[in-house]
Amino acid sequence: MNFDLQQLIKTFGYLGIWAIVFAESGLLFGFFLPGDSLLFAAGIVAAGPNSLNIWTLIFGAFVCAVAGDNVGYATGHRWARRLFNKEDSWLFKKSYLEKTENFYQKHGQKAVVLARFTPIVRTFAPIVAGVAAMKYKTFMFYNLIGGFLWTVGLTLLGYYLGKMIPPDRVDKYLLPIVFGIIVLSFVPSIIHIIRERRANEKD
C-alpha cells in the first residue's frame, strides 16, 4: 500500500493537526503523538500549491499548544497534587513532591521552554509544573515563549524547506525527512540518559 503522508495531512486539515498538537501538549494519552514531525511535515505541505495556509496553520497550532499546556498544568495542580496529600505509597511520596517543587523553583522556566522540543517530556512537563505548584503567571509566560518557538520555528522550517523542493518531488523526500526529525528529537533524551548512567557509575 502506498502511504501518502502529504495527502494524509491535507485530509486531516487544520482541525486534525491542531487537535494532535493540543492533545500532545497536555493530555496524558497524547504522549505518543508526533508533534515535532507533524508540524514540520505540515509546513512542507503548506509550501505546495493549493494547500494549507501557513499563517493560519501556525496561529492555530500556537493557540492549541498553549491551551494544551494549560490543561496539563490544571490537571497537575488541581488533581495530581492530591495524590501526594495521602499517606506515602511506593509511587506517591511527599518527599517526591518536595524535590519536584525545589526543581521547578530553580529550573522551572527553562524546563517549560526546553520540554517543548523533547517528545514525551513535552506532554508531562506542564502536568509536573502544576504538581510542583509553579506560579501560574511564570508558567504562562514561559509557556507562551516555548509554544511560540516550537510551533513557529518547526512549521516555518518545514515551510521554507518545502519551497526548495519541487512540488512533484515532495512525496519522495517527505517521509525520510519526517523520519529524520523523529530520530533527532530523541537524541537529547538519549544523551541525557547516557550521562546520568555514567555519573551514577562514577558515584
Q: What is the pLDDT of residue 37?
A: 83
Stretches where the chain sits below pLDDT 50 are 1-3, 89-92
- Among 69, 74, 32, 48, which residue's Cα sits nearest to residue 151? 69
pTM for the predicted model, two decimal places: 0.77
Q: What is the pLDDT of residue 104?
A: 74
Q: Could you tell me the residue ranges of all domains in the chain? A: 5-202
Q: What is the pLDDT of residue 203?
A: 57
Q: What is the pLDDT of residue 59?
A: 97
Q: What is the pLDDT of residue 108?
A: 78
Q: What is the pLDDT of residue 2?
A: 41
DSSP result, the chain: ----HHHHHHHHHHHHHHHHHHHHHH-GGGGGS-HHHHHHHHHHHHTSTT---HHHHHHHHHHHHHHHHHHHHHIIIIIGGGGGSSS--SS--HHHHHHHHHHHHHHHHHHHHHGGGSTTHHHHHHHHHHHTT--HHHHHHHHHHHHHHHHHHHHHHHHHHHHHS-GGGHHHHHHHHHHHHHHHHHHHHHHHHHHHHHHHHH-
